[in-house]
Structure 1
Amino acid sequence: MGSPEPDITDIRRARFLPRGGYLLALLVLLGALVLVFVSWYYARERELRAAEARFEAHTAEVVDRLYQHLVYYELVARGGTALFASMERPTPQQWADYVDSMNLRARFPEIKGLGYVGYVSSNRLDDLQIEWRESGYGQLNVRPHGMRPRYAPILYLEPRTAENVDAIGLDLLDDPEDEKALQATLDTGVARLGGPSGRRDGALVMLIPIYRGADHPRTAAAREQLLQGWVYLPFDMARYVNSSLGREYDTIGLRIYDARNDGRAIFATRSEPRPESLFHYRTTMEAYGRRWRVEFDSAPEAGAAPRLKGLENMLGLGIVASLLLYGLAWTLARTEDRATVIARRMTEDFRRSEQRFRSSMEYSAIGKALLDSEGRIVEANPALGRIVGRSLESLAGEPFDSLFEDEDASLRSGEEGETDANGIYRVTRHLRREGDLPRQAQLTYAPVQGGVGQDVTGLVQVEDVTERVRAQARVQALNRTLEARVVMRTRELSQANQELEAFAYSVSHDLRAPLRSIEGFSRILIERYESQLDEGGRDYLWRVRKAALRMGELIDAILQISRLGRAELRREQVDLSRMALEVVDELRADDPGRDLAVRIMPGLAAVGDATLLRNLLGNLLGNAWKFTRGREGAVIEFGAFDVPGGETEFYVRDNGAGFAQAYVDKLFRPFQRLHSQETFSGHGIGLASVRRIVERHGGRIRAEGREGEGAVFYFTLPEAGEPGTTPAE
């Protein structure tokens, strides 16, 4: 008895108790997740700072581009001051030609025009209006009306759009922002920005002073006396920003405020900061005497910091990797746990296996012995002692080969006998038993491993097969006797077939001579003595001749059946569809008056003897042709279908006279007919020939029919061999 089997409840409880491996796996998961989240957080903060720096650099570039565009406006306006430097005051036409040459609409679509603002005191305003009217420039209407010490009316403004024409005569000193800008240019002599003004729909203007014959005077009195006017350049703020930045400001929120005028907004792509923006930035811009506060809103997170999406993907991958790591650690812990349980089970299984082996050795009816590396018996079971007629104590330590008469070591080495792929070696040897008849034993050697420190290399099973060997010898002797009898019976059957064929040939040959005499003399009697015979005599002679002809045809039929049995099969690939078409063509040629439909399935083929298969189709299609004579709408079909087992069954169907199914067995017998000779002519051997041909090819044939409704013949032609071979019959 072995140790008791471990309680399965204890094993299950051990599996579900907290284990160090499972705790370690949980710690690995937590540590990996913490590491992943910390790494993701710092990488995200670093990317946010980098994205914010890129955004601020972008805003600085935007401010610089805005300022540079104002510089282009100043250069355009400076061109107008150069024109005034070359002449006292250009005429309106000269000014228009100059502006047209600059192509402002194409180059700077945001600029509304380029003009000249005059500077006159109140006592010279009437003189200016008279001079303007006498020069043919039209009526100069200075607006708004009223008495002021000084006026700064717009005198020129090209191109002459409707808006620019309406602006002629507008006094800029009436607008507070423009007045500040005019005074600033007068004091500094440099360009200044004026506006925006409600009258100009939010437009800004650039103003540059023009002095008579000199640069910017040093004293205020001189500047007041020499000031001729200003070059006037109005531009649209929204178009100015759009032209300066192109499409770039579409991705950011941009707002421009006038810092001097209570923070009034002069431009905004969006009136309020976007809550979805990732960054907000504010800066100031000093440009031509104006101080602007510029505020920026970045795109949402996906556009402002696109790399954050990649970090989120990396976070997801990190979490997945942490879970995989946890799964690996948990699997290792579970494997360790299961290994412990399996080790316990294997210990118990080994004990039970040892018990089963001992029991099989002890109680087996087949002799068994364990052999050491020198072929000596280490242990034997009682059955082996009974087979060799010795006690177990005397067998221990004995060479195993000493128990047999043939002590040739080559038998044990495997040079004789049978050895399989697993090293199992089988051999039959002569057993040595003192005072007993010679006996034979079947030995089976199998390599086995003994315990640690135990010299065991193989297990041999010994079975006394003396009676079995003797029975096999008797069976073999009986088989040899049966084979000799079969050969003798086959030879006798072959001789009998040859004698029958010779007899049939001899009978048919010997019968032809008297038939020829009967037919010949009957013909002579009719030809010579027909006038001397009455009607009855002539009828008798015609019946004799007809019977002789009928008997000749029957003799030919006997010879045909005999030849079918003697002909050698020559197998080849045969196109049955083409062969059936040829048979039908021959039938139509012999009977051209028939009106019937023939349907032949294309692609039908088989392996067989072409001549015999032609005979087969000729008989079946010929019968269908014959038995549909007189049928309205006659139809003949030849086709095939697959049957279970992967076999193809061919069929020939017609809707002719048919037959009673009860007489189907008579169809394939020679000279058996189901219809009278007067109704349908024939010899009764056609279907017998068909059956013989099908059976010679290894197939089978059957028939189905109903009287007056037609018949169908089914047959198979299994591919018993390759084309060109002849199977043994």
Structure 2
Amino acid sequence: MTTNDPAARAAPPHDPAAYSDLSGLTPRRGYLLAFIVFIVALVLVLTAWRIARDREQRSAQAEFVAQTVQVTELIQQRLVNYELVARGGVSLFASVQRPTAAQWKAYVEGMNLQRRFPATLGLGFTGYVPQRLLVQLQNEWRDAGYGLLTVRPFGQREIYGPVLYLEPKTPANVETIGYDMFSEATRHAAMEAALESGQARLSGKIQLLQDQREGVTGTGMILVLPVYLGGGRPLNPSLRRAEMQGWVYVPFRMEKFVETSLGKSHREMRFRIYDDSAGGDTLLFRTAGPAPTQPAAFVHKATFDVYGRTWRIEYESPPIEEAAPRMQGLRNLFALGIFTSLLLYGIALVLAHTESRARQIASRMTEDFRRSETRFRSAMQYSAIGKALLDSEGRIVDANPALAAIVGMELPRLLDQRFDTLLEDEDGESPAHGRGSSDEDGVLRATRRLRRQHGVARQVQLTYSPVPGKVGQDITGLVQVEDVTERLRAEARVHALNRTLEARVALRTRELSQANQELEAFAYSVSHDLRAPLRAIDGFSRILGEKYADRLDESGSGYLARVRKAAARMGDLIDALLKMSRVTRSELKHESVDLSRVANELIEELRMGDAQREVEARIEPGLEVVGDASLLRNLLGNLLGNAWKFTRDRSPGLIEFGTADAPGGGREFFVRDNGTGFPQAYVDKLFRPFQRLHSVEDYAGHGIGLASVKRIVERHGGTIRAEGREGEGATFYFTLPREGGHA
């Protein structure tokens, strides 16, 4: 692929000196014009940025003031809601001259204050009690069944304002009953103002009694509303004190009040609330969080009257970057304008160097092309895989020595031949259009037979990939030829060996199946052949005992009883042996099994069979596995039955079934009891057939149960182990496939 272009050979080498005076070709006025454009653009951008910045600041300030108005209105509206709640309590006094504690509780529960107004601590009523009527009120309170009314703080006062009702009855609210709010200056001022005006009044900053009890520091306030006889407000101010019954009041925490008033929509606002009543400047609330590191962009104050108090709210906006986020965009636009001016200024300089750079790039591309040609030639020449370049008609334009060695021809004879004439396929198709697998890039792969000169045909792996040639050169593709004859022969030998192994496995499987059938026949024959002599022994022993009982002494009768008992035990052992063999041979039916439900059913069956036993069963709920339902019931039946049997000397007995962490990770099931237990040194004997750690006289059984359990667990792909101490109980751990197939 070396170039033969005369024009390319005639091109002179790159000479940097030939382009050293390129800058002199650029008129000097171009630099001056670029500088003037830069200055004009910079002035225009700066003017536009200042106008846009001022407009954006005014817009952000107007938006901030609108948000402050919304926050102020929300706080005022929430206080109006508190007034409406208090007026509902006043209305209750209008319908009933003095409602009972039960009626007051029913009204407050109907209002659902804790959900609707989380900042409030309840709704209460404070009586207006002159000194001469205090004893009468305490007697009425006691006669109504409310207990002793103790007015705090103690002392002689002309008027008392004790808390009589406060719902809901939390421990803190209950301790508040009897407190004389009229004796405290801040509360007294609000209650007195409400009495004189007949309207709702708000107190100054106080610490709520509930917060004092719970040790909570914070700002508390109360909203009080006077209650007169008949529920209405006397038009004559002089009669209001005479007809005064008390005050309905709403205690609330200021921090929670502001939080619930704003909700989630204005939580990012920063502000402080001051009480300016009577010339004071008391801080009631300030937003939480660290102080901003930068000054606020805008500040706004709002002053308003609220139930006899004057509140001032001072709002602070975030720094200018947050208050007017689009300012950053304006800065970016300003920077973009400066950059554009610089770009225009630099275009003239770039144009002056364009030709020089073009010559440098052309020289570098020529060198890259030459090196690429050299690399391709080296890859063709020294590759162990045969390669050939084909034209549009499938003729060989160029080939490497490896292809000549595979075909068995000299390299010059290969050139200009059709590549498909080297193949023995009957269809004679070109590798570019023949059978095979191709990918998205047009690369075709196929295995074909290659005709060798004076030799045996070879199997080759062909890979055709389209490649472009130079301009005016008819090259369309590259074919790579790899001799895979030996590899295919090796694969054929492997396949033949696999077929031989499969035949041997089938033979061994058939022999194993025949052995299993013979074992089943042997077990069936043994069970039937052994039962006949056992029945004869038992029958003749019973007849001998019945007919010749008078001739046998006590020892002889005992021997006959032992013979019959041994025959019966032999029959039971045969049944247990057959049962264990069926556990091994039966086909598994996989389904979802609720082990918790099965365990509960088995415990109930054990209780019904031995109702006098006192056994506590702890079964973990929701234990589900996948397996054979009948075999898993057999498994739990043996484990729980053993636990029931070996806890007979415990009062009460304890049986547990649940899951625990396995030593190697994961979870495993366990059955635990506090029964007789066993020595850990003999744990290997537990799961062997007919192996027992306790005598038959102490605990009945055949020694088959735990062996069956082990086979059931292993058939399900699990494991089982046991831990125990003599006299301290035993625990059996096992694993089974969980729901979804995980062990």
TM-score bracket for the superposition, by shorter chain length: 0.5 to 0.7
* Structure 1 equivalent of residue 541 of structure 2: 522
| 8 A Cα contact 1:450 1:457, kept in partner | yes
* Structure 2 equivalent of residue 464 of structure 1: 483
Alpha-carbon distance between aligned partners in 1 of 2:648 and 2:365, rounded to the nearest angstrom: 87
* Structure 2 equivalent of residue 581 of structure 1: 600
Alpha-carbon distance between aligned partners in 2 of 1:695 and 1:574, rounded to the nearest angstrom: 17
* Structure 1 equivalent of residue 638 of structure 2: 619
* Structure 2 equivalent of residue 155 of structure 1: none
* Structure 1 equivalent of residue 81 of structure 2: none
* Structure 2 equivalent of residue 122 of structure 1: none
Given residue 513 of structure 1, which amino acid in structure 2 is its aligned partner?
Answer: A
* Structure 2 equivalent of residue 434 of structure 1: 453
| 8 A Cα contact 1:571 1:721, kept in partner | no
| 8 A Cα contact 2:523 2:578, kept in partner | yes
Alpha-carbon distance between aligned partners in 2 of 1:646 and 1:543, rounded to the nearest angstrom: 51
Name the CA shift for 1:534/1:645 in 2 (closer, same or farther; >3 Å): closer
Return the offset for 1:410: 4.4
1:320 equivalent among 329, 332, 336:
332
Name the CA shift for 1:327/1:551 in 2 (closer, same or farther; >3 Å): farther
> How high is the TM-score relative to the length of structure 2?
0.53
SS at match of 1:416: coil
Alpha-carbon distance between aligned partners in 2 of 1:24 and 1:530, rounded to the nearest angstrom: 143
Determine whether 1:485 maps to 2:504. yes
- Residues 183-235 of structure 1: CA deviation (Å, up to 9, x unaligned): xxxxxxxxxxxxxxxxxxxxxxxxxxxxxxxxxxxxxxxxxxxxxxxxxxxxx
- Residues 370-402 of structure 1: CA deviation (Å, up to 9, x unaligned): 222222222222211211112222222221112
> How high is the TM-score relative to the length of structure 1?
0.53
Name the CA shift for 1:402/1:636 in 2 (closer, same or farther; >3 Å): same
* Structure 2 equivalent of residue 38 of structure 1: 47
Given residue 639 of structure 1, which amino acid in structure 2 is its aligned partner?
Answer: G
- Residues 612-659 of structure 1: CA deviation (Å, up to 9, x unaligned): 111111111112222333235543221125769996532222233333
Alpha-carbon distance between aligned partners in 2 of 1:587 and 1:317, rounded to the nearest angstrom: 81
* Structure 1 equivalent of residue 674 of structure 2: 655
* Structure 1 equivalent of residue 411 of structure 2: 392
Return the offset for 1:677: 2.4
SS at match of 1:532: coil
Name the CA shift for 1:714/1:45 in 2 (closer, same or farther; >3 Å): closer
Return the offset for 1:360: 2.7
Matching of residues 192-231 of structure 1 within 5 Å: none
Matching of residues 516-665 of structure 1 within 5 Å: 516-631=535-650, 634-641=653-660, 648-665=667-684
Name the CA shift for 1:387/1:616 in 2 (closer, same or farther; >3 Å): same
Alpha-carbon distance between aligned partners in 1 of 2:718 and 2:361, rounded to the nearest angstrom: 62
Return the offset for 1:469: 1.3
Alpha-carbon distance between aligned partners in 1 of 2:364 and 2:655, rounded to the nearest angstrom: 77
2:397 equivalent among 378, 381, 389:
378
Name the CA shift for 1:40/1:605 in 2 (closer, same or farther; >3 Å): closer
SS at match of 2:707: helix
2:383 equivalent among 364, 369, 374:
364
Return the offset for 1:721: 8.1
| 8 A Cα contact 1:653 1:711, kept in partner | yes
| 8 A Cα contact 1:28 1:325, kept in partner | no
Q: Compute the RMSD of aligned alpha carbons.
A: 4.3
- Residues 100-128 of structure 1: CA deviation (Å, up to 9, x unaligned): xxxxxxxxxxxxxxxxxxxxxxxxxxxxx
Alpha-carbon distance between aligned partners in 1 of 2:627 and 2:483, rounded to the nearest angstrom: 54
Return the offset for 1:601: 0.8
Given residue 619 of structure 1, which amino acid in structure 2 is its aligned partner?
Answer: N
Alpha-carbon distance between aligned partners in 2 of 1:403 and 1:494, rounded to the nearest angstrom: 55
| 8 A Cα contact 2:42 2:338, kept in partner | no
- Residues 318-367 of structure 1: CA deviation (Å, up to 9, x unaligned): 33212245668999999x99x99999988776655544433332222222
Given residue 37 of structure 1, which amino acid in structure 2 is its aligned partner?
Answer: L
Alpha-carbon distance between aligned partners in 2 of 1:29 and 1:713, rounded to the nearest angstrom: 89
* Structure 1 equivalent of residue 695 of structure 2: 676
- Residues 653-684 of structure 1: CA deviation (Å, up to 9, x unaligned): 22333334444343323222233323332212
Matching of residues 322-341 of structure 1 within 5 Å: 322-324=334-336
Gaps of 5+ in 2: 3-15, 17-25, 57-319
Alpha-carbon distance between aligned partners in 1 of 2:404 and 2:604, rounded to the nearest angstrom: 86
Return the offset for 1:421: 4.0
- Residues 277-324 of structure 1: CA deviation (Å, up to 9, x unaligned): xxxxxxxxxxxxxxxxxxxxxxxxxxxxxxx99x99887643321224
SS at match of 2:549: helix
Name the CA shift for 1:42/1:388 in 2 (closer, same or farther; >3 Å): closer
| 8 A Cα contact 2:594 2:624, kept in partner | yes
SS at match of 2:550: helix
Return the offset for 1:30: 6.5
| 8 A Cα contact 2:624 2:739, kept in partner | no
Alpha-carbon distance between aligned partners in 1 of 2:644 and 2:608, rounded to the nearest angstrom: 12
| 8 A Cα contact 2:617 2:656, kept in partner | yes
Given residue 492 of structure 1, which amino acid in structure 2 is its aligned partner?
Answer: E
Given residue 431 of structure 1, which amino acid in structure 2 is its aligned partner?
Answer: L
Name the CA shift for 1:419/1:679 in 2 (closer, same or farther; >3 Å): farther
Alpha-carbon distance between aligned partners in 2 of 1:589 and 1:376, rounded to the nearest angstrom: 95
Determine whether 1:423 maps to 2:452. no
SS at match of 1:677: coil
Given residue 322 of structure 1, which amino acid in structure 2 is its aligned partner?
Answer: F
Return the offset for 1:709: 3.4
Name the CA shift for 1:431/1:699 in 2 (closer, same or farther; >3 Å): same
SS at match of 2:618: strand
SS at match of 1:607: strand
* Structure 2 equivalent of residue 147 of structure 1: none
SS at match of 2:333: helix
Name the CA shift for 1:468/1:513 in 2 (closer, same or farther; >3 Å): same
Alpha-carbon distance between aligned partners in 1 of 2:740 and 2:52, rounded to the nearest angstrom: 78
Alpha-carbon distance between aligned partners in 2 of 1:668 and 1:25, rounded to the nearest angstrom: 98
Name the CA shift for 1:638/1:411 in 2 (closer, same or farther; >3 Å): farther
- Residues 457-512 of structure 1: CA deviation (Å, up to 9, x unaligned): 32222111111111111111121122122112211211111111111011101111
* Structure 2 equivalent of residue 454 of structure 1: 473
How many residue pairs align between the two structures? 442
Return the offset for 1:28: 8.7
Alpha-carbon distance between aligned partners in 2 of 1:656 and 1:482, rounded to the nearest angstrom: 54
Alpha-carbon distance between aligned partners in 2 of 1:408 and 1:476, rounded to the nearest angstrom: 29
Name the CA shift for 1:315/1:693 in 2 (closer, same or farther; >3 Å): closer
| 8 A Cα contact 1:429 1:440, kept in partner | yes
Return the offset for 1:710: 3.1
| 8 A Cα contact 1:29 1:325, kept in partner | no
Alpha-carbon distance between aligned partners in 1 of 2:640 and 2:35, rounded to the nearest angstrom: 86
SS at match of 1:598: strand
SS at match of 1:713: strand
Given residue 334 of structure 2, which amino acid in structure 1 is its aligned partner?
Answer: S
Gaps of 5+ in 1: 3-9, 11-19, 48-307, 724-729
Return the offset for 1:602: 0.7
Alpha-carbon distance between aligned partners in 2 of 1:422 and 1:25, rounded to the nearest angstrom: 49
Alpha-carbon distance between aligned partners in 1 of 2:417 and 2:615, rounded to the nearest angstrom: 95
Name the CA shift for 1:537/1:329 in 2 (closer, same or farther; >3 Å): farther
Alpha-carbon distance between aligned partners in 2 of 1:589 and 1:362, rounded to the nearest angstrom: 92
Select the structure of larger CA radius of gyration.
1
Return the offset for 1:580: 0.7
| 8 A Cα contact 2:541 2:563, kept in partner | yes
| 8 A Cα contact 1:577 1:605, kept in partner | yes
Name the CA shift for 1:374/1:411 in 2 (closer, same or farther; >3 Å): closer
* Structure 2 equivalent of residue 16 of structure 1: none
Alpha-carbon distance between aligned partners in 1 of 2:33 and 2:537, rounded to the nearest angstrom: 118
Return the offset for 1:585: 0.9
